[in-house]
């Protein structure tokens, strides 16, 4: 079944015998947002057409934020956009974004995804988390690393929600973040990158 076939997170929890919890696991980092980016982003929000389609939301709101944080981690990580992810016939599809550890073979080689980010189509976060949860399970199974934490983000461009999967425990962060508190959002996204980095340095 494709990732989009999982209509809600409960389907994922049942299908893969996970346990679901909610708590605030995000500890905001010390990330300093570039003033130039902040100014351009604010202009884009006030003057640009940013949310007239799914593609526009991905390109104008989600991708720029992920990319700006990724620049701080580019030596060890690659941010993939709309890259096919397949574990088996029950876990396959195309996540909007994937953060994967950089392969020693070069940037065209995809390996070890650590987090996925997807757009909540038509603001449907319920379906968004079903898809994202399935993608997180696929990453976990592809990597096959016991105790590894896989992270997930679901966003409609303006609102951002976070989750993580470690072994059979799925935790959804209670607090969500918005682009209207851009500094706080960036610190939350950077925390996810930082945690992925720490798992490579000290697995």
b/e map 143-178, b = 16+ CB within 10 Å? beeeebbbbbbbbbbbbbbbbbbeeeebbbbeeebe
pLDDT in 10s for each residue of the chain, 203 residues: 899 999 999 999 999 999 999 999 999 898 999 899 999 999 988 998 888 888 889 999 999 999 999 999 999 999 999 999 999 999 999 999 999 998 888 888 888 899 999 999 989 999 999 999 999 999 999 999 999 999 999 999 999 999 999 999 999 999 999 999 999 999 999 999 999 999 876 54
The token duo for 16 is 């893969």
Number of domains in the chain: 1
Q: Give me the domain span that covers residue 159.
A: 3-201
CATH number at residue 144: 3.90.1570
């Amino acid at each position: 079944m494709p990732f989009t076939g999982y209509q809600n997170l409960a389907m994922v929890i049942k299908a893969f015998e996970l346990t679901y919890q909610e708590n605030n696991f995000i500890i905001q980092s010390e990330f300093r947002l570039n003033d130039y980016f902040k100014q351009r982003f604010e202009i884009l929000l006030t003057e640009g057409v940013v949310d007239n389609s799914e593609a526009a939301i991905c390109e104008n709101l989600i991708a720029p934020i992920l990319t700006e944080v990724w620049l701080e981690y580019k030596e060890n990580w690659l941010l993939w956009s709309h890259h096919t992810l397949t574990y088996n016939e029950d876990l396959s599809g195309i996540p909007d974004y994937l953060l994967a550890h950089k392969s020693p073979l070069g940037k065209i080689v995809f390996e070890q995804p650590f987090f996925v980010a997807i757009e909540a189509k038509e603001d449907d976060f319920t379906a968004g988390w079903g898809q994202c949860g399935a993608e997180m399970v696929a990453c976990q199974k592809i990597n096959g690393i016991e105790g590894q934490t896989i992270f997930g983000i679901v966003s409609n461009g303006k609102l951002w929600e976070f989750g993580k999967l470690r072994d059979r425990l799925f935790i959804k962060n209670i607090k969500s973040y918005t682009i209207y508190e851009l500094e706080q959002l960036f610190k939350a996204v950077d925390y996810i990158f930082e945690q992925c980095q720490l798992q490579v340095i000290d697995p």
